Amino acid sequence: MQTLIQIANTIFNPIIKLGGPPVMLILLTILATVMGVKFSKALEGGLKLAIALTGMGAMIDILIGTFNPALQAFVKFTGINLPIIDVGWPPLATITWGSPYTLYFLLIIIIINVLMLILNKTTTLDVDIFNVWHLAFIGLLVMYYSHNNLLLATVLVIIVGILKIINSDLMKPTFNDLLDMPETNPTTTTHLNFMLNPIIMVFDKLIDVIFPFIDKFDFDAATLNNKIGFWGSKFAIGAYLGVFVGLFGHQSIKAIFTLAFTGAVILELFSVIGTWFISAVEPLSQGITNLVSRRFISKRLYIGIDWPFLAARPEMWAAANILAPIMLGMALILPGNRILPLGGIIAIGLTPALLVVTRGKIIRMTIIGTVVLPLFLWVGTLTAPFVTHMAKVVGAFPTNVSSSSLIGGTTIEGPIEKLIAIVWGEFGGNMNITSGLEALVAIVIYILVFIWYAYQMKKRNEEYKKNNETV
C-alpha cells in the first residue's frame, strides 16, 4: 500500500502542477487506451473532457460575473450573508474529474469491486464509472484538509467504497418492488446518495413510533408534478432565483432581467456541458466494463448503474418540488449557512434515498427531507472553500474575481461522508490524541449505524422473499 501511494505521489504531483484540461486530456487518453479502447475513441474522450472543463470554467465565469455584484447588494440590503453560489452537481463532477487523483481512486475502487466479487462478498458489478467522482471528491477533501495525506484519503475511500457496494446488494429487492422489475432484472446502483439511507431510516423508524398515522395523508405525486409543470424545470428555477436576488438586492429592472436570464441559461448549459463530460468518460467506462465483466460473465450478477432509473417514480420529483422552496427559506434563516440555493435546489442528491427508505410514502419523504436539509446546507457551506480551490487548480475558475467569491453545492451527495472526510483531513493535518479520537469515533459511529441499517434492510428483504413465495 505504502509503495503504491509513493508511486502515485511521484507520478501525479508533477503532473498536477501543470494543472488543468491538458493534463486530463493526456491521462484520460492513456488510461482508456490501456483499458483496451481504440486510440481514436480514447483520444475523443480525452478531448471532450478537456473541452467540458474549459466550458464549465467559462460558465462559472459568467455566473459569478453576473451574480456577484447583485449578491453583495443582496447581503447589504437584507443583512442575510449568503456569498457562496450553488452551482449544482455538473460543475462539481467536472471539476473533480479534472483532477488526476480521480483516476487513481477509480483504479482503487475497481480493484475493491473485483476482489469483493471474487470473494463472494457482493453480487454487484459496478459499471457506473463516471460516478466515482463522488468518492474522489471525498478523497480529495481529506487531502485538502490534511496537506495531501493520500494514505488517509485512500483508507476512507476504500471504507465508503465497500459499504456502497454492500448497500447496492441490500437495496436490490426494494428496487424490484418500486419499479415492478422481474427477479431476472439485474439493475441496481452503487450511487453515493443512498449512503444517507441509514440516517433516513432512523427518522423513518421514529415516525413509525411517534406518528404512524401520517401515511393516511399521502397524495398522488404524479398529479402534483403535472400541476407544477414547467415551473420546476431548470430554466424556470434559474430565472426566478435571478429575480429573487435582483429584487432583494435592489437592482434596476434591467439588471433583474439580466440576472433572471443568466441564471436560466447557466442552469441549462451546465447540463449541456454535463453531457459532453459524460460522453468524455464513456470510452473509459466501456473499456473497463469489457475487461471486468468478461471475467464474471458466468456469475449471476447485479449491475450497478447511475441512480436515475428511480426517476420513473413520481414521488421522487414531488418531494424534490416540495423541498425546493423549503430549502430556499431555510437557507435564509439557518445559522451557519452561507450558501444560496441555485443549481442544486432540486434535491436529486437527497430524494432518491428518501424514496428507497420510505418506499414512496410522500409525506414521510417530505418530513424527513426537511429534517436532513440543514445537513446539506452546512456541508455545502463547509466544502465551498475546497470546491473553489479545486476549481482554481483545474483551471475552471475565473482568476480576475475577488478572493472572497466562492462556489459550492447545496445538495451534494453523501453529506455525512463529506463531514467525516473533513474530520479525517483535520486529523491528518494535525495529528494528536484529540483529533485522532474524533476521527476514530466518527468512523465507528458511521459504520455502526450502517450495520444497524443493513440488519433492517435484511429483515425487509426477508419479507419480500416470503411474499414472493406466497404469491
Partner 1 sequence: MIRILAACGAGVNSSHQIQVAIENEMKKRGYDVKVDAVVMKDITPEMLSKYDIFTPISKPKLGFEIKIPVVEAGPILYRIPAMAEPVYDQIENIIKKSNK
Binding positions for partner 1, rule: CB under 8 A: 89-90, 127, 130, 179-181, 185-187, 220-223, 225-226, 229-230, 232-233, 271, 274-275, 278-279, 282, 285-286, 289-290, 293, 297, 303, 305-314, 316-317, 320, 348, 352
CB 352 to partner 1: min, Å: 8
Q: State which residue, 12 or 302, has the beta carbon closest to partner 1.
A: 302
CB 292 to partner 1: min, Å: 10
Q: State which residue, 81 or 290, has the beta carbon closest to partner 1.
A: 290
CB 401 to partner 1: min, Å: 27
CB 273 to partner 1: min, Å: 9
Residues 192/137, Cβ–Cβ less than 8 Å: no
Q: Which residue has the cell 456502497?
A: 164
Residue 55 has a CB neighbour count (10 Å cut-off) of: 22
Q: State which residue, 200 or 316, has the beta carbon closest to partner 1.
A: 316
CA–CA distance, 395 with 278 (Å, rounded to integer): 19
Q: State which residue, 285 or 383, has the beta carbon closest to partner 1.
A: 285
CB 313 to partner 1: min, Å: 6
Q: Which residue has the cell 453480487?
A: 123
Residue 50: partners with Cβ closer than 8 Å, 6 or more residues away:
21, 22, 24, 25
Residues 270/346, Cβ–Cβ less than 8 Å: no
C-alpha cell at 2: 505504502
CA atoms within 13 A on the CB side of 289: 16
Instruction: Tell me the C-alpha to C-alpha distance, in Å, between residue 64 and each of 57, 59, 71, 314, 399.
Output: 11, 9, 10, 34, 11
CB 286 to partner 1: min, Å: 6
CA–CA distance, 388 with 186 (Å, rounded to integer): 38
CB 264 to partner 1: min, Å: 14
Q: What is the dihedral of CA 275, 278, 282, 283, to 10 degrees?
A: 90
Q: State which residue, 359 or 389, has the beta carbon closest to partner 1.
A: 359
Q: State which residue, 91 or 198, has the beta carbon closest to partner 1.
A: 91
Q: State which residue, 185 or 435, has the beta carbon closest to partner 1.
A: 185
Instruction: Outline where 299-414 has alpha helix (H).
Output: 314-333, 351-358, 362-393
CB 127 to partner 1: min, Å: 5
CB 187 to partner 1: min, Å: 6
- Report which DSSP code applies to 299: S
CA–CA distance, 286 with 319 (Å, rounded to integer): 34
CB 129 to partner 1: min, Å: 9
Q: State which residue, 191 or 364, has the beta carbon closest to partner 1.
A: 191
Q: State which residue, 89 or 137, has the beta carbon closest to partner 1.
A: 89
Instruction: Outline where 132-192 has alpha helix (H).
Output: 133-146, 150-178
Residues 56/307, Cβ–Cβ less than 8 Å: no
**Signed CA dihedral, 422, 424, 429, 431: sign only:** positive
Q: State which residue, 124 or 405, has the beta carbon closest to partner 1.
A: 124
